[in-house]
Chains A and B, each alone.
Chain A
Amino acid sequence: MVLRWKHVLLAFLAAVILGFGFAWSGLMSVGARSGHWAVTDWFLHWVMRNSIRTAALQTEPPPFDNPEMLKLAAGHYEQGCAFCHGSPAEERSAVSRNMLPEPPDLKEKIPEWTKAELFHIVQDGVRFTGMPAWPAPHREDEVWSMVAFLEQVPQMSVEDYRSLAGLVATGGSNAVLDCQSCHAPERLNGKSLIPSLAGQSETYLRESLFAYADGRRLSGVMQTAVTGLSKEQLASLARDYASMQRGSVANHDADPRGADIDKGRELAEKGRAADRIPACLTCHERADGNPSYPELSGQSVPYLTNQLRLFRQAHRGGTAFGHLMLPVANNLTDADIENVSAYFASKQE
């Protein structure tokens, strides 16, 4: 018998039908207990490594020059990652060790990846595993902070981890996260990526928390942090922070990063009409101003520049008034952003 194209086609059809038949029969187990065949396991990991290596080719990591990046990431790691991957302070849970694939203990795995590869794993997640994508798209700044933190994990002591994440021991040995873990005034300084909330306008805080909860302001860290809190709880948190004494975090160590504070003051007071930049102070920090407009004095330079850049990229949502900043930020140069941030960081109320 001669093998013809017809036979090949028939064989192919038969294979497809048999395959579907097997899948339909339910004889294929999808249970996680038995694990993959060694060859399947090798193949899936091989595909993943290739994919991430390729994705990372064009990615240039920013300089990890701000130690405060670790604080931004540590609390979120404790809340979102430690359950599966373990942390310097805690083993992986029994639940996570029975997942398929089993989430690795990161202490051992981190050194196997480059910064850019870690960025893509955290940013985009890994399909067919439990690894989710970062909750907020376009928040590369947060993801890079997480990468900076991850690189430190293998050699991090329990005490360092607890202190970075702001884990507060309550009573026994249990340590819990709350808003103060990150936002406590004494934890903030001139390089913080975390904003100072004490004494901020209550309306602004409340509307911003609602915006995080409704997905109108994007942040992997904050959207995770407000998950599960009711509107009443959020409003009450806003009230609590608004009633605290406003302390300018940056007074003692404002770090203008070489920016020109006088130029920043001029921009804040007069704007630059030629470039369609209004004066910041016509809306912000008016005694009789709209309480939806935040106070900017005493926020750190890294936080302010980061928010202005997000506005400029049109990736910063916020309150119902947030869109007013988009055209303004769009007209700011990099130097404007540095100067005006330095001005507000150094401004006394």
Chain B
Amino acid sequence: MNVERLAGAANRSRKVIYHFCPFSLAICLLVLSSCSGVQSALDPAGREADAVATLFWVMVAGGGLIWLCVMGAFLFAGRFKTQPLTERRAGGIIVFGGVAFPVVVLAGLIAYAGWLMPAMRPWFAGEGEGLRRIEITAEQYWWRVRYLDDKGQVLRESANEVFMPVDERVLFVLKAKDVIHSFWIPSLGGKMDAIPGRVNNLQLEATKTGSYRGVCAEFCGTAHALMAFTVEVLEKQAFEDWLRPKASSTPVSAAQTPDAGGLDAFLKNGCGACHAIDGTQAQGAIGPNLTGFGTRPTVAAGTLPNTTGHLIRFIKTPDLIKPGVNMPSYNMLLQAEVEAISLYLKGLK
């Protein structure tokens, strides 16, 4: 009878396993699918991220091995070893397994992590000199991005998109306008806080060209989760080409832009009080610089794909898309004006 009951229980648990097997498989696949993509530390595309990922895999493998040994010992003690150990042997196991082994393993890990450090963060402050500098100012809830030359002059200003050359160490100069934010491009490296009144430096080197995504990694307010940016890693020449045309000060005149009516509406309603568009009267420095806005992949700092429809929505009701955003609502503009402004912005190259 006992045996029957046991068999029944085994049957039931087998049924449960069959039932859940496809489900758990799906979950596993779903979880694994997040290991790659534009924003994954497990799919590294930079030297620091590489080191972090290697460290992670070494730790997962080592931790897994130790776990298997502990489970094996547990099984052995429970199933096969019927006689108790002598006190001397038990003591030996505790001293070896509980003291000596962890000390050696942890010391090894610390040494390994320490050996990786120089690849991730410079040990000495001077190491950032001579590197290309990109100044990032985090503001609620967007990123001001300025490409600096050797003398610290701004070559080009943009927002919510970072362009980087591949295989070149870049120094990110991190500032914050209002509260503490944190700058993180998981595919390229670790995060670094941006703190009001301080300047933090972070060096990143991308090793693969491609598009990545960065985020704010420190809760900064109601729209914290909607404060992202895109990262484009380009071949060196392509990056220089991107950086230079605007830097050599050949502004696009208002007449050359695709929709002059949009620019008129933009200026008439005072958008230029906060936003700048190079080559126009709009020189506001409070909100994101909109020069070349049409080429940006997203609206509202990585929140929505850059389409005129989304632009119209954002201009009319920014607070519904990003709660707490500093831009006031322009729901009172004529629909035609909002459309013209959106078309104009979308057309900016």
- List chain A positions with a Cβ less than 8 A from chain B: 271, 273, 276-279, 282-283, 286, 288-290, 293, 320-321, 323-324, 326-327
Instruction: Report which of B273, B286, B329, B332 forms a contact with A283, defined as CB distance below 8 A.
Output: B273
Secondary structure type dominating chain A contacts = loop
Residues of B within 8 A of A282 (CB): 270, 272-273, 284
Contact between B273 and A279 (Cβ–Cβ < 8 Å)? yes
Secondary structure type dominating chain B contacts = loop
Give the 6 A-B residue pairs with the shortest CB-CB distance, closest first. A283-B270, A278-B273, A320-B332, A282-B273, A273-B285, A290-B269
A320 to B332 alpha-carbon distance, docked (Å)? 6
Q: Does B328 contact A (CB under 8 A)?
A: yes
Can you offer 17 A-B residue contacts whose CB atoms are under 8 A? A271-B284, A277-B286, A278-B270, A279-B273, A283-B269, A286-B267, A286-B268, A286-B270, A288-B267, A288-B268, A289-B268, A293-B270, A320-B332, A321-B332, A324-B328, A326-B328, A327-B326
Distance in angstroms from B329 CB to nearest chain A CB is 7
Q: A276-B326, A288-B264 are in contact. Are A324 and B286 (CB under 8 A)?
A: no
Q: Does B274 contact A (CB under 8 A)?
A: yes
Distance in angstroms from A203 CB to nearest chain B CB is 12
A278 to B273 alpha-carbon distance, docked (Å)? 5
Nearest CB in chain A to that of B274: its residue: A278
A266 to B326 alpha-carbon distance, docked (Å)? 23
Residues of B within 8 A of A321 (CB): 332
Residues of B within 8 A of A273 (CB): 284-286
Nearest CB in chain A to that of B265: its residue: A290
- List chain B positions with a Cβ less than 8 A from chain A: 264, 267-270, 272-274, 284-286, 326, 328-329, 332
A sample of 9 more A-B contacts (CB under 8 A), given A273-B284, A278-B286, A283-B273, is: A271-B273, A273-B285, A278-B284, A279-B273, A283-B269, A288-B264, A321-B332, A323-B329, A327-B326
A286 to B269 alpha-carbon distance, docked (Å)? 10
Contact between A324 and B270 (Cβ–Cβ < 8 Å)? yes
Nearest CB in chain B to that of A276: its residue: B286
Nearest CB in chain A to that of B331: its residue: A320
Nearest CB in chain B to that of A283: its residue: B270
Residues of B within 8 A of A289 (CB): 268, 270
Distance in angstroms from A267 CB to nearest chain B CB is 12
A276 to B327 alpha-carbon distance, docked (Å)? 11
Distance in angstroms from B284 CB to nearest chain A CB is 6
Contact between A290 and B286 (Cβ–Cβ < 8 Å)? no
Residues of A within 8 A of B273 (CB): 271, 278-279, 282-283
Residues of A within 8 A of B269 (CB): 283, 290
A200 to B308 alpha-carbon distance, docked (Å)? 36
Distance in angstroms from A204 CB to nearest chain B CB is 13
Residues of B within 8 A of A279 (CB): 273, 284
Residues of A within 8 A of B264 (CB): 288
Interface centre among B268, B270, B326, B328 (most CB of A within 10 A): B270
